[in-house]
Chains A and B, each alone.
Chain A
Amino acid sequence: MTTRSIADLLRDVGTLRDLPPDLLAVVSGCGRNVHFDTGTTILREAEPADTFFAVRHGRVALELFAPGRGEVMIETIGPGGVLGWSWLFPPYRWHFDAVALEPVQAIAFDGACLRGKCDDDPRLGYELTRRFAATLIDRLQATRLRLLDVYGDGDAIP
């Protein structure tokens, strides 16, 4: 797979869509195609976060392990979604597990390499921080909506 085709594929990834061409070239240069079989653990909580993924096909579950409850699926990420932001912010460790719910095709980005490039090029650093911050805000809003428990409870019927 060529660098160019990864740049093409990134058009379908909301967080990275419409990057200026020179920045797109840098970002896609740090990406490679990966595949995960159903059930594969892609990320594990507390392990170093040096990668992030743009999901192309399939769905990934974000899970937290809760003693007494086992794994609780807290979110799924599907085609066009980005998996992982911890690579960009200290302490660079995953906050959750991520598991392939079905065969997953994704682009894996070398986050450690990109961090170095962001340090060298503030324009790239600003652009990526801005975009990942927007993704974080979306997640925060979704979490707030969930906290409201809008669907509520009715009375059990006989």
Chain B
Amino acid sequence: MQSRDQPRGELCVPSPYRVVDRTVETADTVTLAIAPVDSLARAWEPGQFNMLWMPAVGEVPISISGGVGGGATGGDRGGDGTVLLHTIRAVGAVTRALCALEPGQTLGVRGPYGRGWDLDAASGRDVVIVGGGLGLAPLRPVVHETLRGRDRYGRLAFLAGARTPEDLLYMSELGQWRARTDLQTEVTVDAVPGREWRGDVGVVTTLLPRIPFDPGRVVALVCGPEVMMRFVAAELLRQGVAPGDIQVSLERTMQCAVGSCGHCQLGSSFICRDGPVVTWERVGAAMGVRER
């Protein structure tokens, strides 16, 4: 994994990045496009995250939701000169400050960190990608990646859930994905007034029986609120998918992001280093443990 090869000291110091574009996704969420001020952006893998630092406010982990430009590897693995995308929801002091950044302003970035989606495990198999709410952010690059290497996979499905149509991220891209014949895209929201909405209504788990995957040869990639991921995993297990074939991306409070401080511990795993993407086989039992 890319992050393992990088020198630790360098990784712990934020580099200055400049906001080059800002897209308002929903009432509480923006996507920032950021580029390094005086260095090259590091290569990254779908599912990894960066620590974004607002001086005098604080530092938070945010998934890399895509890239723009970046030479031969394309936009979704990063590399020289790549502009990085981060989709951020304003929930507290740091994320609010990040969401308020305008093009031209700067922030500190260190990373990328963690283990991303294991697409090697998905090679030659059906792939079902399930995202809820902000969980679409770390899944967006993996959808791009699987489409780029489309021949490597069997059936490919992307299921997205949100509370209302107004809360859906990446609306125009979702429209493009829905129009494709090599990717089954289903979108559902919790409830909606009127009949304007053209997608589904119901929680994202209700879409799973509609996807004609083979439980014995599918890999599921799941990201969203933890309760949602538990329900999705339970449904997949019920359909006969092995726990080792269910990958989930977890969120835990983080501080160092390099496996030193213990803030992000879940069972025997440090989510910053062993995750954020882990298999259900590894964390399923620990996720049932109540934390307050």
Contacts and interface: CB of A to CB of B under 8 A. Distances in A.
A79 interface: yes
A156 B163 contact: no
Interface in A105-158: 138, 141-142, 145-146, 148-158
Residue from B188, B190, B192 whose CB has the most chain A CB atoms within 10 Å: B190
A70 interface: yes
Contacts of B27: 154, 156-157
A: contact size bracket: 20 to 34
A7 interface: no
B184 to A, nearest CB: 12
Residue from A81, A150, A156 whose CB has the most chain B CB atoms within 10 Å: A150
A18 to B, nearest CB: 14
A153 B162 contact: no
Interface string B29-70: 110000000000000000000000000000000000000000
A156 B26 CA distance: 9
Contact of B28 (A62, A148, A154): A154
Contact of A155 (B24, B91, B132): B91
Contacts, number: 101
A76 to B, nearest CB: 4
Interface stretch (B77-85, B104-112, B202-210): B202-210
B194 A73 contact: yes
Contacts of A76: 188, 199-202
Interface stretch (B224-232, B262-270, B274-282): B224-232
A61 interface: yes
Given A73-B191, A76-B200, A154 B90 contact: yes
A138 B99 CA distance: 38
A145 B228 contact: yes
A142 B27 CA distance: 26
A145 B205 contact: yes
A101 interface: yes
B: contact size bracket: 35 or more
Interface in B123-147: 132-133
B227 A74 contact: no
Interface in A1-19: 14
Contacts of A151: 132-133, 161-163, 167, 190, 225
Contacts of B188: 76
Nearest to B98: A157
A80 B200 CA distance: 14
Contacts of B292: none
Contacts of B201: 61-62, 73-76
Residue from B100, B163, B202, B224 whose CB has the most chain A CB atoms within 10 Å: B202
A12 to B, nearest CB: 9
B26 to A, nearest CB: 8
A145 B203 contact: yes
Given A73-B197, A158-B99, 18 more contacts: A61-B195, A73-B192, A73-B193, A73-B195, A74-B201, A99-B195, A141-B205, A142-B203, A149-B190, A150-B227, A151-B161, A151-B190, A151-B225, A154-B90, A154-B95, A155-B96, A156-B27, A157-B24
Interface of B: 24, 27-30, 89-91, 95-96, 99-100, 132-133, 161-163, 167, 188, 190-195, 197-203, 205-206, 209-210, 224-225, 227-228, 231
Interface of A: 14, 59, 61-62, 69-76, 78-81, 99, 101, 138, 141-142, 145-146, 148-158
9 contacts: A62-B201, A70-B194, A72-B191, A73-B195, A81-B209, A146-B203, A150-B224, A151-B190, A157-B100
